[in-house]
Chain A
Amino acid sequence: MKTLIFSTAALVLISTLYLGIQGAWSNNDDPSHGLGKWQNMKARSTGVAPVTNTLYAEECGSCHFAYPPGLLPSFSWQKVMTGLADHFGDNAELDAQTKQQITKYLTTHAAESSNYRRSRAIMYSLQATDTPPPLRITDTPYFKREHREIPNRIINLPKIGGKLSRCNACHQRADKGSFNEHEIVIKGLGPWND
């Protein structure tokens, strides 16, 4: 009898531990999804949700930095995805199925659906204008404001290439969705001291 009680107790303990570990290990795609208020607040304070979709990361990231979808509203993503035959001067056509899957990922994770700080800032800046949202992240009022102090001599460095579209040329943790200005290291120039 004693053995039975002990073994039952041990089993319960082990399964509790196992379930606990599983919970801690499980990967949640969207950190703001299904969390309590405290965790939601924490999610709000960071940059932007990092890219979680491997199809998007592979298809779009093979030519350029895979921009987190939370940096543009769904209106813009929809428009970008319908014009892939002339994608800012490049041909980036996809087959119908891939295109549909990527469009779904981008539009459901767009800025207006995200609670992250940069997404909310971009949406807020767009609401203040009368024009429809731009197709480029670099054309959003929030982006322009945040980058207005950068002199041309830096923008024209070979690693940056004359445009501000290579996020990870300066933001070393851009792929993690972090655009903190204290983490900026400009390739070929060193840390950025504002």
Chain B
Amino acid sequence: MKKILPYLIMATITALPITVRPNTSVGLQEFSAERGKNLWNQKHTISGQTRRCTSCHTGNPRQAGKHVRTGKMIKPMAPSVNSDRFVDHKKTAKWFKRNCKWTMGRECNEQEKGDLIRYLKSI
């Protein structure tokens, strides 16, 4: 028993479900896939252009997108088909910053980011 105890502990830790919970003490609501989906499809008018997430990522996050200016292929955003999504915090933060500014003309707040991730993880 002594020999397998450390492995048991490790297995238990690995099996614990890791879920991101919003910090409600700073006024965040429970993240919502539905709100995320609405935001994903919401149109914004920036510099006289209509922009939204789907401009590059398409309406279906399970399929590959295409950069609206350069035409370069963008791998799917849904972790169910692309396991590289939302595993590298630095990368996620960089793209949220760039793409929220381009799409909405400002950075996304924590609620919006959480809702978007919840939506993309739900499909």
Contact = CB atoms under 8 A, between A and B. Distances in A.
B67, B94, B98, B99: residue with the most chain A Cβ atoms closer than 10 Å: B98
Given A90-B102, A94-B94, A63 B71 contact: no
A88 B47 CA distance: 13
Interface in B3-45: none
Interface in A155-175: 159, 161, 165-166
A159 to B, nearest CB: 8
- SS of A interface (majority): loop
A92 interface: yes
Contact of A91 (B70, B72, B101): B101
Contacts of B97: 91, 93
A62 B70 CA distance: 10
Given A93-B98, A94-B94, 10 more contacts: A62-B72, A63-B67, A63-B70, A63-B72, A89-B47, A91-B101, A91-B102, A93-B94, A95-B90, A166-B71
Interface of A: 62-65, 85, 88-95, 159, 161, 165-166
23 contacts: A63-B67, A63-B72, A64-B67, A64-B72, A88-B69, A89-B47, A89-B69, A90-B69, A90-B98, A90-B102, A91-B99, A91-B101, A91-B102, A93-B94, A93-B97, A93-B98, A93-B101, A94-B94, A95-B94, A159-B71, A161-B71, A165-B70, A166-B71
